[in-house]
Amino acid sequence: MRLPSRLVLPLLALAAPILAATSWSFEDATLTIQGKGSGVGGGAKEKLSSSTLTSQPFALNGAESLKIVLTTTEGKSGKRPHQAFLTLHEQATGLEESFAFSVKDNGKAKLDLSQKDLPHQFLTSSQPIKASIVLASFGSSTPLNHHTFDLTIGSDSATPPSIPSPPERYTSKPEIHHIFRADPRSPPKVLSLFFTLAVLAALPVLLGAWLYLGGNIDHVGKAFGANPLAHGLFFGSILAMEGVFFLYYTTWNLFQTLPVAAVVGTVAFVSGSRALTEVQERRLAGER
Amino acid sequence: MRSLLLGLLLGLCSLVSALSAVGNKLLVIQEDESEKDNYSQFFKDLEARGFQISHRTPKDSSLSLFLHGVPAYSHLLLFPPKSKGLGPELTANVLVDFINQGSNVLLALSSDKSIPSAVSSLLLELDISLSPDRGSLVVDHFNYDTKSASDKHEVLLLPSPDSSRQDVKSYFGVQGLIAFPHSVGQVLGNASPFLASVLKAPATSYIYNPKDDSGDALEDPFATGTQINLVSAFQARNSARFTVFGSAEALQDTWFTASVQLPNGKSEKTSNQEFAKKVTGWTFKEQGVLKAGAIRHWLDEGAQKSTTDLTVLDVNPSIYRIKNDVHYSVELSEWQADHWAPFTPPAADNVQLEVSMLSPFHRLNLVPKQHTANATLYTSDFKLPDQHGIFNFYVEYRRPFLTNVEEKVTVTVRHFAHDEWPRSFAISGAWPWIGGIWVTIAGWVAFVALWLWCKPVEEKKVAGKR
């Protein structure tokens, strides 16, 4: 049958872009997850499609291995592409790792994958891992990069993945705020006040006891009459010494305190011996 | 004499007009004199930015990177040679010395030409690995130029690189696509913090060797996807920079002006010229150079509390006491092509101050408080830890693509002096004891008076009592 040439040319023109726009794809794709014990042909088998995403993510557990068998096609016929990868994408870190299919001339391709082939980021991922099949080659055929299925990695309790310590990166480090030692604490003020009052109350009790036992200072006049200078200085120096101690407690340092204390002490020593002589005289006179 | 003066003046002028923060002498190593013309626009751009370019061939007997033991050039640009070696003056050792003395290197590679062993061993020292197969190149069947490589797909078209990390400044962003013909992919070691990726290959790319490829499918690629770097940067501890540029051809005039087309895309002009400017600008230290200016710290207590008048402050004392409140400030500037400008870190990043003795007691984010014409003032207020000793106020700012800033100020932190503690009467728990002392004093004085002046009690009263 001969077609008129004016019909053929437009037909060819229509066919040309179709020919040029052949695209890479795959068919007869099955995914098997095989346990260690189950023999050849065992395990769950699932069909993969080059146009849709499988509804359920597949789970790959510790001892299992994942096996994908498919036929790569360019246009309609099976053919071997230069690039036939299964690309895994970890969503949290953005890490991608590709695994090459081993492909025969007629496009029959297979890939085995188990947990030990995967970097540790995949093994510890909390989100499902996106798995894409990438088929591409030189020339003008449209390449295929299709998100085919999701993969969840079950943790292997027997041999947990060894996670290396993270490598050093220059970045800002977490802030550190020094934790100060706790300030020294005092007991409740009520308690302190109670015992302070109790201690202060001891003084009136002591003075009262002395008064009750007949304590008095009725000989002041007599003593000052006999030796006013000695008594005045001695008692004054006793008070002055307490004053020196008070000043040392509040404002003075040791070098201010010592000379004054020495002077007051000398006065107390000299005047004290005189004053006590007078006291002795009174005692000898039977007045004490 | 006049010519000498004129030369000096010209030298000064060129120093002023140079855009690099460190120097403007650039040595270009290219084997073939004729190849120079392929890169004329690239060199013209460099010269316009104030670089004094010396062209040499690796075989030149007078070639030396050092003069009197110091680098004779601030920057080195290495083009891939045709022959296998680079000669005795450009061994890996010499290049490492050159970097150790603070000079910068831009290394361009091409899959068309062999990679000299000096270069690959140098790259191994930096933890950058190349495919062991000579002539391996990066190919991507998804992002290639349909005009020039419709069959082989070895001219990659890449969008502007964006920083993968929020806390890293991006110095390499351009408008439009960058063409990368015949590029050599690099794989960076994971352990080194000195390495950074400038431009990554697309996710669907891979490295293969066109020579031993006999139509077979690729079984075991050297590297795939975004793990391949087309441009990678290394910055040493001394802030010397080393950049590996995966495709020397991308710097040629033809690719500066070429128009390219992605599959399913529309034709557009390459932005290689802009990208080359950014990469050389960073490598030769026109960008990303930091400088710390004045560092000030003072006691933020008592009379000095919340003043900033430097004339009344006792600035930078050598001694503090534990638990003192201290104010610290440091000025940071960034070189921007021809002047120092205030430095601002990326949004997710912070300049940090460590108060450390052996290990940090405080690590605080510094707050940018004030911008001057060419510096940002970073400040922090903190309380010194309750531990006496010799402390450092240490600002260590190391980030990818930025020169390192390390500023250390050493101060003595002393303990409380004996008269700086709270007085005993301020401590409620001490009140019974203080009361006890006062009672003792009063009792003692009363006892002395009683001892001195007591009159004997009358007998009858005592007798009556008995």
pLDDT digits (tens, 9 = 90+) for A186-204: 899 999 999 999 999 999 9
Q: Which residue of A has its CA nearest to B223?
A: A98
Asked whether residue B200 falls in the same domain as residue B348, the answer is no
Of B142, B191, B349, the CB nearest to A167: B191
Per the structure, how many domains does chain B have?
3
A239 domain-assigned: yes
pLDDT in tens, A163-178: 888 888 899 999 999 9
Residue of B155, B197, B204, B290 to mutate for A, most A C-beta atoms under 10 A: B204
Q: Note the pLDDT of residue B308.
A: 78
**Residues B360, B274 within the same domain:** no
pLDDT mean over B253-269:
87
Q: How confident is the model at residue B278 (pLDDT cuts 50, 70, 90)?
A: very high
Number of domains in chain A: 2
Identify whether residues B105 and B146 lie together within a single domain.
Answer: yes
In a domain, B1, yes or no: no
CA distance A195 to B430: 10
Q: Which two tokens stand for residue B166?
A: 């929020």
Which of the residue ranges B3-17, B123-137, B292-306, B382-396 would you say has the lowest mean pLDDT?
Answer: B3-17
For residue range B46-100, list pLDDT tens digits in order: 999 999 999 988 888 888 899 998 999 999 999 988 777 788 888 889 999 999 9
pLDDT at A11 over 50: no
For residue A178, being part of any structural domain is answered with no
* B52 and B189 co-located in one domain: yes
Q: Which parts of B146-284 fold into alpha helices (H)?
A: 253-257, 272-283
Query: What local confidence, expressed as pLDDT, does residue B343 receive?
Result: 94
From chain A, the residues in CB contact with B224 under 8 A are: 85, 87, 96-98
Question: HEC profile for A3-69?
Answer: CCHHHHHHHHHHHHHHHHCCEEEEEEEEEEEECCCCCCCCCEEEEECCCCCCCCCEEECCCCEEEEE
If you measure CA to CA, which chain A residue comes closest to B220? A100
Encoding tokens for residue A254?
């040791």
For residue B427, is it within any domain?
no
- Tell me: do A52 and A144 sit in the same domain: yes
The shortest C-alpha distance from A135 to chain B (Å) reads: 9
Contact B439 A101 (CB under 8 A): no
Q: What is the pLDDT of residue B15?
A: 47
Least confident residue range of A217-221, B323-327, B446-450: A217-221
What's the whole-number mean pLDDT along residues A18-34?
77
Inter-chain Cβ pairs, chain A and chain B, closer than 8 A: 187
Q: Which residue of A has its CA nearest to B152?
A: A138
In 3D space, the residue among A145, A181, A127 whose CA is nearest the CA of residue A26 turns out to be A145
Name the band, by pLDDT with cuts 50, 70 and 90, for residue B266. Answer: confident
Distance from the Cα of A13 to chain B's closest Cα (Å) equals 20
Q: Which residues from chain B sit within 8 angstroms of residue A101, using beta carbons?
A: 217
Residue-wise pLDDT tens digits, A267-288: 999 999 999 999 999 889 887 7
pLDDT band of A78, cuts 50, 70, 90:
confident
Q: Which amino acid is at B161?
A: P
Q: Which of A14-23, B145-154, B401-410 has the lowest mean pLDDT?
A: A14-23
CA-CA-CA-CA torsion sign (B32, B34, B39, B40): positive
DSSP three-state, residue A236: helix
Looking at the fold, whether B102 and B240 belong to one and the same domain comes out as yes
Whether B432 and A176 lie within 8 Å, measured CB to CB:
no
Of A153, A187, A213, which residue constitutes the final position of a domain? A153
Q: What is the CATH number of the domain that holds B16?
A: 3.40.50
Q: Where does residue B69 fall: left (phi above 0), alpha (psi -120 to 50 degrees), or beta otherwise? A: left
Query: Which of B365, B439, B453 has its CB closest to that of A220?
Result: B453
Range in A36-45, A202-211, A252-261, B99-108 with the lowest mean pLDDT = A36-45
In chain A, the residue whose alpha carbon lies closest to the alpha carbon of B215 is A82
Residue A174 with chain B: CB contacts under 8 Å:
363
Asked whether residue B462 carries a pLDDT value surpassing 50, the answer given is no
Domain that holds residue B373: 289-418
Cα distance between residue B466 and residue B457, in whole Å:
13
- Res. B214 pLDDT band, cuts 50 70 90: low
Q: Which of A10-14, A36-40, A249-253 has the lowest mean pLDDT?
A: A10-14
Nearest CB to A239; choose among B165, B364, B445: B445
- B168 in any annotated domain: yes
Q: What percent of chain B has pLDDT over 70?
A: 92
Distance CA A165, CA A168 (A): 9
B460 and B390 housed in the same domain: no
Considering the domain architecture, whether residues B221 and B101 belong to the same structural domain is answered as yes
A173 vs A155: which has the higher pLDDT: A173
Tell me, yes or no, whether B257 lies in a domain. Answer: yes
Residue B232 shares a structural domain with residue B85: yes
Same domain, A223 and A144: no
Which domain, by its residues, includes A214?
A: 205-284
Q: CATH number for the domain including B398?
A: 2.60.40.10
**Does B226 sit within 8 Å of A96, measured CB to CB?**
yes
Looking at the fold, whether A28 and A142 belong to one and the same domain comes out as yes
| Phi, psi angle pair for A252, to nearest 5° | -70, 155
CB atoms within 10 A of CB A38: 13
Are residues B78 and B207 both part of a single domain?
yes
In chain A, % of residues over pLDDT 90: 32
> Which DSSP category does B224 fall into?
B
Closest partner residue to A192 among B216, B355, B431, by Cβ?
A: B431
Whether residue A132 is found in the same domain as residue A217: no
Please state, in angstroms and rounded to a whole number, the distance separating the CA atoms of residues A220 and A279: 11
Q: Would B78 be classed as within a structural domain? A: yes
* A38 φ/ψ sector (left φ>0, alpha ψ -120 to 50, else beta): beta
Cα gap A225→B416, rounded to integer Å: 54
Residues B150, B95 within the same domain:
yes
Of B239, B238, B252, the residue nearest B148 (C-alpha): B252
- Pair A210, A146 in one domain: no
Q: Average pLDDT over chain B, rounded to whole?
A: 87
**Model confidence pLDDT, tens digit, residues B228-255:** 999 999 999 999 999 999 999 999 999 9
- When pLDDT is cut at 50, 70 and 90, the band that residue A123 belongs to is confident
Name the residue among B263, B432, B446 with its Cβ closest to that of A199: B432
Position B461 pLDDT exceeds 60:
no
CA distances from B38 to B30, B80, B143, B149, B254 (A): 12, 14, 25, 20, 8
Smallest CA–CA separation between A204 and chain B, in Å? 9
Residue listed under structure tokens 């920083």: B163
Do the Cβ atoms of B439 and A203 come within 8 Å? yes
Between A117 and B462, residue with greater pLDDT: A117
- Nearest chain B CA: its distance from A145 CA (Å): 8
- B227 and B99 within one domain: yes
Map residue B192 onto helix, strand or coil: coil
d(CA B109, CA B120) in angstroms, rounded, equals: 11
Tell me the two tokens of residue A35.
Answer: 């346990």
Query: What is the per-residue pLDDT across B137-177, written as a single tens digit (0 to 9) for each?
Result: 899 999 899 888 888 888 999 888 876 677 888 889 888 88
- What is the chain A residue with the closest CA to B384? A178
C-alpha to C-alpha distance for B387 and A192, rounded to whole angstroms:
31
- Say what the pLDDT of residue B1 is: 44
Indicate whether B3 belongs to any domain. Answer: no
Looking at B229, B258, B283, the residue that finishes a domain is B283
Do B111 and B252 lie in a common domain? yes
The mean pLDDT value for B191-208 works out to 91
Residue B409 structure tokens = 């100020």
| Angstrom distance (rounded) from CA B17 to CA B48 | 9
Q: CB of A111 within 8 A of CB of A68? A: yes
Chain B environment of A178 (Cβ under 8 Å) = 355, 361-362, 383, 385-386
Highest mean pLDDT among A2-16, A28-42, A152-166: A152-166
Are A200 and B165 an interchain contact pair (Cβ–Cβ within 8 Å)? no
